[in-house]
Amino acid sequence: MSSLNSLSILLFGLFLVACDGSKLTVTETNQDGLLSAIDRVDQSSIVDLIELESIEPQSTGSQSTEPEATEPETTEPESAEADRLNIEPAEVVSGTASITDVVLVTGQSNALGSQTSYDPVLDQPVDRFYAYTENGWQPASLRQVWDLGWHPAKGLGDDPHNNFGFHFGKAVAEQRSDRVVGIILVTAPGEGIKHWDSDGFFFRKIRNKILLALNELPHKSGVDGILWHQGETDWSQSGSNDPDLDGVVEDDYYSNKLWGLINSFRAEVWFDADRPFICGETARSPVNARLNSLNRDADAWTACVPGEELPTHDAEQVHFSAQGLRQLGANYADVYLQMTR
C-alpha cells in the first residue's frame, strides 16, 4: 500500500475517532471512496486531527476498548436557574379542571342577597370552590361580581353583600374533600315565576350564561344541579299575587308553573332528569306549601329545603339576613350532598 494511501487511512480513522469517540478497526477499505471522503473533510478538521498528541497505529485485528470515563453532567434546577438570571418563576395557576359540580343558582331577591351584612371571618373564601364571575371562573369570593354587573361586590373598599350560593359552595367544600363546586348565579329580583318561562328573554339569558360558563370548562358538558329560590312575588298559597298577572289565576298556578320550569330545564342539553332541582322555602310566604310539595312527589331528583323562620333583615320579614343566608346555603348543601352521594 502506498504511503499516500496509508496516510489517508490514518487520517480517516482519526476523523471517525473525533466524530464518534470510538476507535476504528480497518479490515477492508475502498481507496477511491476513502480519498473522496477525505476530500470532503474541512481543512481545519484535518489540522485538528494531525495535532492530536498521541496517535497509536491501528491493528488489523478486532480490538475491544473500554469507553473513556467522563464526569457526570449536572443540570441546574429550573428554580436555581431562574434565581441566577433574576427571572420571576412562572405562577402555578389552580386550574378549573378540578371542578366536579357545576351548580346554577337562580331566583329573585333572596337568591341575590342584596343589602345584607358581611363578616370577614364567617364569610371568608375557602379552597375548592369557584364562581363564574365577570372575569370568568375564579376561586369564589363575595368581593367579586357574579350577576347584574354589581353583585355581590360593592364599591372598592366597601364590604360586599352576602349570598346563600356562596355558603352552599363553602359547606360542600368543608364536608366533602372530593368535591369542588362551581356556581353560576342568574337572578331576577322582584319577578314572579312566569319570568322564567322557557320562551322568554330571561330563560335565554340563563341558557346563554350557562353555555358561556361551560365553554370555559372543557371537562364539563352540563350543569350538575339547580338551586331555586323564588316565590315571594307569587305570595299566595293557591294562586299568585304577581301584580303583572291579569285576572284570577287557577288554584294550582304556582305548582304548574314550577313543574313547567323544571321540565324546561330538563329539556336543555346541559341538564337532565337525573340531576337535583332543589328549591328553598321563603321566609314566611304561603307559597311554601307549593314548594314543599317537591318533598312529597314521586320524583327522586326534586326537593325543598327549610327556610321559613330563618332570620330576616327587613320590616316585612321577606328578605333573609346574612345569618339567614348562611344557614339557607348550608341547608341546600346538606340536601344536595344527600342526593348526589
Tell me how far apart the alpha carbons of residues 18 and 14 are, in angstroms, rounded to a whole number: 6
All three cell numbers of 227, joined, read 338551586
All three cell numbers of 130, joined, read 369557584
Tell me how far apart the alpha carbons of residues 221 and 224 are, in angstroms, rounded to a whole number: 9
Question: Comparing 286 with 67, which gets the higher pLDDT?
Answer: 286
Q: How many CB atoms sit inside 10 A of residue 298's CB?
A: 5
Cβ–Cβ under 8 Å, residues 134 and 331: no
Question: What DSSP state is assigned to residue 71?
Answer: P
Predicted pLDDT of residue 154: 84
- Say if residue 80's pLDDT is above 70: no
- Say if residue 291's pLDDT is above 60: yes
**Confidence class of residue 284 from pLDDT cuts 50, 70 and 90?**
confident
Domains and CATH numbers, the chain: 3-68 (no CATH), 98-339 (3.40.50.1110)
- Say if residue 63's pLDDT is above 80: no
Question: What DSSP state is assigned to residue 245?
Answer: S
Predicted pLDDT of residue 285: 83
For 272-281, how does the pLDDT look when each residue is reduced to its tens digit (9 = 90+)? Answer: 999 999 999 9
Average pLDDT taken over every residue of the chain: 78
For 302-339, how does the pLDDT look when each residue is reduced to its tens digit (9 = 90+)? Answer: 999 999 989 999 988 899 999 999 999 999 999 999 99
All three cell numbers of 22, joined, read 470510538
Residues of the chain with pLDDT > 70, as a percent, come to 68
- Say if residue 110's pLDDT is above 90: yes
All three cell numbers of 268, joined, read 336543555
Tell me how far apart the alpha carbons of residues 137 and 237 are, in angstroms, rounded to a whole number: 39
3-state secondary structure 165-232: HHHHHHHHHHHCCCCCEEEEEEECCCCCHHHHCCCCHHHHHHHHHHHHHHHCCCCCCCCCEEEEECCC
Q: Which helix (H) or strand (E) holds 75?
A: none
